[in-house]
Structure 1
Amino acid sequence: MQATQQLLLPLAIVQGEPMVNLPKGLYIPPNALKVLLTDFEGPLDLLSHLIRTNKFDIRDIPVFEIARQYQQYIGLMQQLDIELAGEYLFMAAWLTEIKSRLLLPKPPSLDDDDEEEDDPRIELMQKLLEYEAYQQGARWLDSLKIVGRDVWPIAIEVETLPEVTAQIDLDDLNMALQNVMQRALAKVAHQVSEEPIEISDKIEWVLSQISLEPVSILDLLVAQEGKPGLVVTFIAVLELWRQQQIELQQDEAYADISIRRAA
């Protein structure tokens, strides 16, 4: 079990040092001092402070210890003659009810979910979790830079420039237009598109260009077709040679290759 920490509430703070016990020989008349506790903004804030101080798990609140310390704080406020708000008394009654319900015996149950739903602390834990979420959101908003507190806008007075009227000659405008038109005509757009060359069409064309007489392979090349035409023509010649429709002949090394129809 986690050891609990006793919450010490000082009676006063003198020169930065908290005073827990009254000094000996000091007489304070009744109602001579009026202490205003502004550290807590409500009962949920007080419960959140007690949970953080004792390092309790907010999802598993030890109601007995929290209720004891909460009632101790309420008793201290009554001793100091501080007017208690109704919500503090309501929270004290609620903690007492939760503590009483936890002490009562529970009927046996086979389902664990039913035991969790019957836990009287669930509603209090939900309220504390929502309160912590709001507190974290408020701290995050407070950490942002606020205009007028952290940053200040700068207002600079700018002199109004005098209106300038352009003096344009009609001849100069006409000359500038002619220059723009000439630059536009100098840029001619040319769209490059690839012309597909089918191997089957090239095979038929090669057969139409050769006969039984040998023909140089260079005569079958079309300069307008460029490199794609050269590659397709070479593939077509190899395909015809594989099909034994043509005969290839080379008289010597590095000489032109002659093509003719197969006999």
Structure 2
Amino acid sequence: MSAISTAENQTIAWLFGQPVTEIPQDLFIPPDALTVVLQSFEGPLDLLLYLIRKQNIDVLDIPMLTITEQYLSYIAQMQKHELDLTAEYLLMAAVLIEIKTRLLLPSPPPAEEEEIDPRAELVRRLLAYEQMKLAAAELDALPRAGRDFGWAWLPVEIIAVTQPPQVQVADLTRAWLAILARAQHNRSHHVVKESLSVRAQMTSVLRYLHTHQQCKFTELFGRNDSLAMVVTTFIALLELAKEGLVQINQNSATAPILIQAMSQ
């Protein structure tokens, strides 16, 4: 049987190949085994807390006589086996002897103020130590880089696609008014019957864009186009944009408006 750890909910020993996670209530650890048990203690508070929890003693009501005798027995065994005793272990032994002595002395006559329990400071230190020990165990159980998992590094090149600014309605309106003003100068007194169709003009615009891929807004309107033709072409362009067949862009506020055919 080999001791591993005394933390709660952990394997404290292995017995015939099986883990033992709880300390039996009737477990007696002989002083000769102290050299093995002390390897898992981190200080006098840890040893004292182990003695209390091993016997299911209430921390708020510690039997100082029993605990002090057991603690001093362990200290004696440490000295017997020539183990290095730190000042903390000896100081805790002195504190336990003092508390036990104060409890054995006759109680003074009751005073107006309530007498302070000599064990109160020791109880406070034990509870604080146990709380920190449990918190440390919870932190240690969290996944840790390098112990439970490793970091994976994958270089990824992110290419930002520059989107041209969208054409505002006001910009398109100004361009349309300029085309319309130019068409006003091409009025003729000759009465000519024109057969105009928005669908036919849409086909004409798409055919032009498939040839040139991209063109300026003004290139869709001929200089000699009549007012009816200009209006029909503009309506055809708006219908194409609505149906997602063309895209209207403008690189800057002062740049010309560009018409581009959308890939199918």
Q: TM-score, normalised by structure 2?
A: 0.49
Which of these two proteins has the greater Rg computed from alpha carbons? 1
Q: TM-score, normalised by structure 1?
A: 0.50
